[in-house]
Amino acid sequence: MSSVQSYELYTPDEDGAVLRKLDRRLVAFMALLYCLSFLDRSNIGNAKIAGLADDLKLTSQQYEWLLWAFYITYIAFEWMTLMYRIVPPHIYISICILSWGIIASLQALATSFEVLLFLRALLGIGEAAFGPGVPFYLSFFFRRHELAFRTGLFISASPLSASFAGALAWLITKVGQNGPLSPWRLLFLLEGFPSILVAVWAWDFVPDSPGSAKWLTPRQREVAVLRLRQEKEDEEEVHLEGHGLQPKRKAGVKLREVLSTLKDPKCYLAAFMFFGCNVAFSSMPVFLPTIIRDMGHTSITAQALSAPPYFFSFIVVLVTAYYSDRLQSRSTFIILHSLLATFGYSTIALCGLYENPNIWIRYFALYPAAAGFFSAITIIITWTINNQESDSKKGTGVALMNVVGQMGPLVGTSIFPTEDGPWYVKGMAICAAFMLSVGILAAVLRIVLVKENQRNKQKGNVEYTGVPLMEGGSAREERKVFEFIL
């Protein structure tokens, strides 16, 4: 904090200690949950080549419907991001985890395409209720300039999950080859059940607000609340009562702010960027094992080779998020990574177009492709939250971004039909085009925000003539007009 009042209330050392504990406990736990979530949604790609398609006699079109079923319900229930403001998060998150864990495990019992289709649709509801709203939930605990790295830690769980999912699928497939259960059934069961166990843990572990985290000391809870107060724009955010500074957080959303956000063109630019990234993001985990197999490898080798591109992406996402926060820049990193992904997908498409027999060129081009879209997604989510002034606006902005953006998978999961193998030129070219559009939209949004910042600066500062908090004053104090992060 930069004000004199801040240092009267807590020291920089106390601030750092609270931040580190939030990272180690809260962010790490959310990353674990997202890891389980991503594993349960994407393991159908590994299950397909582990015998699912053969046992259930799935056609290429039926497999696409299994992917669409998840995303159709996922899109339909994106609005549940706002539930983080209505239901206590420790209750809400626990219910979400338990629901998707049970449904993911039940996929092991599927005996037909119709049963699996129904379960995939239910899985989409459970995961839509959780994942899209977590960056919004993290904004309850972190300042604007801290959020990209924490969102990066959370989002990086998806490539990390995908990296060990390939190795885990390889191991389960090997073990299950001579077992009583088909390898794909064992895969669904063993990867879904851990979520059920973690749901019990989440009930007691997940805090509803900075002031209710049981794993912080009483003094650290005070600091966790105080360190956020300068960034709060309205009375719904943080209320401090009495000498002990006990925090209370109002539930609910403000309809006026919801409608204002829905009419803001800037939100739609971010949403269409997210759409473009999700075309690539959704297709990679469910088709990568098949694509690698069609490059000339066996099914088991394809499971193993699908891991390294994701682990590389995990490292790149963390580095990108760290420097995005440090430099307080969002658009630059989105443009850079969209171009990297465009290069990767274009390389694979061109190799296929000219039928280049070198499979390793196509394989290593997957690295910048995956790292590019994972990193861009991380910064787009952070950018959307950063540039909304209140929790109601943040929640609406994230919900809108996800409703539009999650339509991308409906495209992404339909552009790699079996008959296009082994080159998949059309699918790779489409992904390249969408990732290029992400960079263009990021540049446009940056220009819009620069102009809005210039207009806002002409209005001058918002002044507060309050008394310091320790003397019973207001939680808000003098600060500048809201400035959009570029």
Q: How far is CA 129 from each of CA 98, 214, 409, 443, rounded to the nearest angstrom?
A: 12, 24, 17, 31
pLDDT of residue 473: 38
- Provide the token pair at 66: 């299994």
Q: What is the mean pLDDT of the chain?
A: 85
CATH code where residue 77 lies: 1.20.1250.20
Domains held by the chain: number: 1
Higher-confidence position of 473 and 168:
168
Residue-wise pLDDT tens digits, 255-296: 888 888 899 999 999 999 999 999 988 777 667 777 777 777
- Provide the token pair at 448: 């819009």
pLDDT of residue 46: 84
Mean pLDDT along residues 24-47: 92
What is the torsional sign of CA 233, 235, 238, 240? positive
- Provide the token pair at 89: 């998060």
Query: Is residue 261 in a domain?
Result: yes
- Give the number of other CB atoms < 10 A from CB of residue 453: 15
The parent domain of residue 29 ranges over 4-230+255-471
Query: Is residue 83 in a domain?
Result: yes
Query: For residues 238 and 229, is the Cβ–Cβ distance under 8 A?
Result: yes
Q: Which of the residue ranges 45-59, 157-171, 403-417, 438-452 would you say has the lowest mean pLDDT?
A: 157-171
Burial bucket for residue 4 (CB in 10 Å: 0-12, 13-18, 19+): exposed
Query: What is the C-alpha to C-alpha distance for residues 113 and 124, in angstroms, rounded to an integer?
Result: 17
pLDDT of residue 464: 38
pLDDT of residue 2: 44
Query: Is residue 478 in a domain?
Result: no
In percent, the amount of the chain with pLDDT more than 90 equals 51
Query: Is residue 131 in a domain?
Result: yes
Residue the block writes with tokens 């289709």 = 117
Q: Is the pLDDT of residue 52 over 60?
A: yes
Query: Is residue 237 in a domain?
Result: no
Residue-wise pLDDT tens digits, 161-195: 877 777 788 788 888 777 788 889 999 999 999 99
From its phi and psi, is residue 232 left (phi > 0), alpha (psi between -120 and 50) or beta? beta
Q: Which of the residue ranges 363-377, 396-410, 425-439 would you say has the lowest mean pLDDT?
A: 396-410
The distance from CA 275 to its chain's CA centroid, rounded to whole angstroms, is 13
Query: Is residue 274 in a domain?
Result: yes
